[in-house]
Structure formats: C-alpha cells, structure tokens
C-alpha cells in the first residue's frame, strides 16, 4: 500500500467517522499534502524508514483548528493497520498524531510563504520553488466540502503566461552563457571542468523541460524520475544521459547540442515562440557549440506585461540560487525576490 492509499484509508475508516460523530458541522478538506515522497507518488520500501506512516492533512476553518486537533488527540486509536497513529518526525521528535490540522490559507502559506487567495505579484510568483508548490498541488485531496483548498490549488496550477515566458527565457540565457565552455575546457585538457559544466547545463535543461510542459519541478532527488515522465523526455533524456556519460568533450558537446535542439523543438510544438531553424550554432570560429542569440530573445519579445518586460534576465528563485537552506526558507525566498527583482527592474529602466 502506498502512503497516499494508506492516508485515504485512514481518513475513511478512522478520522472522518470521528469528525462525523463529534463535529459534523465543521467544513473540512482532507488529503495527503505537504512533505514526503508519497505526496509525489514516489514512495517505496525505503521510504518507510522515516517520516512515513499515518500522515494526513486536515483543513478546517482557522477558529476550529485547535478544537479539531484536540478532538483527534483524544479520540484516535493507538494504531491502524499495524501503523501507530502517534510517532515522531525528523523535524519533530515528539510522538504525536500526524494529522496536520490547519486552515486552508494557513497551510498554503506554510508551504509557499504566500497568501495565495489574494493578488499575487510578479515577485510572489518568482519566489516560488517547484517543490513548495507541489507540496500544495501534487498530493490527492480526498474530500473538500468548502472548496477552498481546491480553489487555492487551481490558483497555483501554473505561472501567468508572461511570467512563464520570462522564466523560460532565463533558463535559455543560462544555457547560452556556458554551453561553449564544455568544449573549451575539454580542449585545454580539463576533463573534470568540462564535466562539471556539462552537469550544470543538464540540470538547467531538465528544469527547462519541466517549464516547457507546464509542470512544477520537484527538488533534485526526484527531478530525473519525474522528468522521465514528461512528454519531452523521449526526445531529450537520452541526449542528457549521454552528455553526462560521454568520455570525450566532443561527444559531450554533441549530446548537449542534441538536447538543446530537442527542447527547442518541443517549445515550438507546444506553441511557444521559437527561432526559425536550429537553436544552436558554432561558437564563432571555434570548434564548440554555442546557442543562437535569439533563442531567449524571441521569448522575451513576446512578453506584453510591462512589469515583466523590465525585469532582468535572472528568472525565478531556483534560477538564482541552488542552496537548499535558501530554497526551503519561504520567508527568505520572498525577501530575495523583492530585492533582486527590484534591482533588476531599476537597471532595466535606466
């Protein structure tokens, strides 16, 4: 039984009957949301060695959350299907029930740092990590009597169109900055340096694949697994794997060029702006691959929102930094977005 199947059974057989008997008037939503590989549908036997078990998200009005939590603490059985209802987590050593009780807006804010029910600004959107959104949107909702969490999940389905173009352009810009260096370092006999740059480019190309398919990327542990399920994967993943495994810089360069062309073709197929012809070209008169200047520019040229048009080429938070501590700190992400986007807009305006 997967974690989400266990959570659904726990809700139906144990938690829901308790609420029906004691608090039938309380609006509620129940699901398996938040952290955990089971939220992404990726849990296996190894997942059960920590933070796996009878976990459930229960969303109720803010003024009833304490009452509901106390009711469950008093009423839940000691175990269900052989699993304890109270157990510690890696970030909370207290053995207590793991039905997370919160108001819908508060739960979403705890994941994203945002009041998603209000108007989201451009910096708000760019402060989001894919994983923070997936903690809200990826897992199943078993019941939603008020419809509030369903509406909030729909709000986070994807970026506004012009913000989407902006983050796509930022990744292409990032690729263009370093693509020729795979060959240049290799030509100098620096095989390790060539591989390091190739790995950075593969990371960016994988994220670009998620963006093209309008899918929020997970944190790195699951990026390869979920990339393999994207529509773009059959045309790109072989080349990405070859770029990482290639024994020579020439083979590495050729594999990355093929991956760029596959993603550029997919961009055209989904109806987004692309250049006529290939995405790549020779890097001046050197024997390395470069990215054509207009690959990112044609996306930026299609942006009509003036607030997005003036942004620098940085993109979103996951395109600025890869420090785990930063990316998992929702408050810090928001502050960085405000500062960096504000600075970029000021430079663009003069």
Q: How confident is the model at residue 314 (pLDDT cuts 50, 70, 90)?
A: confident
For residue 248, what are its two tokens? 């020579």
Task: Give ∠ CA 295-258-213 in degrees, rounded to 5.
Answer: 60
Domain layout of the chain by residue ranges: 3-155, 161-309
Q: Is 8 helix (H, G, I), strand (E, B) or coil?
A: helix
Q: How confident is the model at residue 242 (pLDDT cuts 50, 70, 90)?
A: very high
Q: Mean pLDDT for the chain? A: 95
First to last CA, the chain: 59
Helices (H), the chain: 3-10, 16-22, 65-75, 104-112, 122-126, 130-137, 148-155, 161-178, 181-187, 191-212, 220-227, 233-245, 249-269, 294-300, 306-309, 317-320, 324-327, 330-349
Q: Nearest 5°: phi and psi at 87?
A: -160, 160
Over 90: is that where the pLDDT of 347 sits? Answer: no
Q: How confident is the model at residue 267 (pLDDT cuts 50, 70, 90)?
A: very high
Place of tokens 């929020």: 216
Structure confidence at residue 46 (pLDDT): 92
Spatial CB neighbours of 192, under 8 Å, sequence gap ≥ 6? none
Structure confidence at residue 349 (pLDDT): 47
Spatial CB neighbours of 212, under 8 Å, sequence gap ≥ 6? 168, 232, 263, 266, 267, 270, 272
Spatial CB neighbours of 316, under 8 Å, sequence gap ≥ 6? 125, 126, 127, 128, 167, 170
Task: Say whether pTM exceeds 0.85.
Answer: yes
Structure confidence at residue 350 (pLDDT): 45
> For residue range 20-45, what is the model confidence (pLDDT) as tens digits?
999 999 999 999 999 999 999 999 99
Average pLDDT over residues 163-185: 97
3-155 CATH, one of 3.30.200, 3.40.30, 3.30.460, 3.40.50: 3.30.460
Structure confidence at residue 343 (pLDDT): 57
Average pLDDT over residues 207-231: 97
Over 90: is that where the pLDDT of 50 sits? Answer: no
């Amino acid at each position: 039984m997967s974690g989400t199947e266990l959570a659904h059974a726990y809700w139906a057989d144990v938690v829901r009957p308790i609420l029906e008997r004691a608090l039938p008037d309380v609006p509620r939503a129940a699901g398996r949301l938040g952290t955990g590989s089971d939220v992404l549908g990726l849990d296996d036997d190894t997942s059960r060695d920590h933070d796996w078990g009878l976990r459930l998200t229960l969303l109720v009005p803010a003024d009833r959350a304490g009452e509901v939590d106390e009711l469950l603490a008093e009423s839940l059985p000691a175990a269900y299907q052989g699993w304890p209802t109270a157990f510690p987590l890696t970030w909370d050593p207290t053995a207590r029930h793991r039905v997370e009780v919160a108001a819908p807006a508060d739960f979403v804010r705890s994941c994203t740092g945002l009041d998603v029910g209000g108007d989201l600004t451009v910096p708000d959107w760019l402060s989001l990590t894919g994983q923070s959104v997936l903690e809200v949107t990826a897992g199943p909702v078993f019941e939603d009597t008020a419809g509030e969490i369903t509406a909030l999940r729909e709000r986070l389905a994807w970026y506004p169109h012009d913000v989407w173009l902006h983050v796509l352009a930022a990744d292409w810009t990032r690729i263009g900055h370093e693509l020729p260096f795979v060959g240049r370092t290799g030509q100098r006999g620096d095989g390790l340096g060539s591989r390091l740059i190739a790995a950075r480019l593969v990371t960016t190309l994988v994220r670009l694949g998620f963006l093209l398919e309008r899918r929020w990327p997970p944190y790195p542990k699951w990026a390869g697994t979920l990339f393999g399920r994207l529509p773009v994967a059959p045309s790109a993943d072989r080349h990405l794997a070859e770029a990482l495994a290639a024994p020579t810089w020439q083979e590495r360069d050729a594999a990355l060029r093929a991956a760029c062309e596959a993603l550029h073709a997919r961009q055209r197929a989904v109806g987004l702006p692309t250049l006529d012809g290939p995405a790549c070209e020779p890097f001046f008169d050197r024997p390395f691959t470069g990215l054509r200047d207009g690959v990112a520019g044609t996306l930026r040229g299609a942006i009509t929102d003036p607030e997005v048009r003036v942004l620098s080429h940085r993109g979103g938070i996951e395109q600025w930094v890869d420090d785990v501590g930063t990316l998992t700190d929702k408050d810090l992400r928001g502050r960085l977005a405000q500062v960096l986007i504000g600075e970029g807009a000021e430079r663009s305006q003069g």
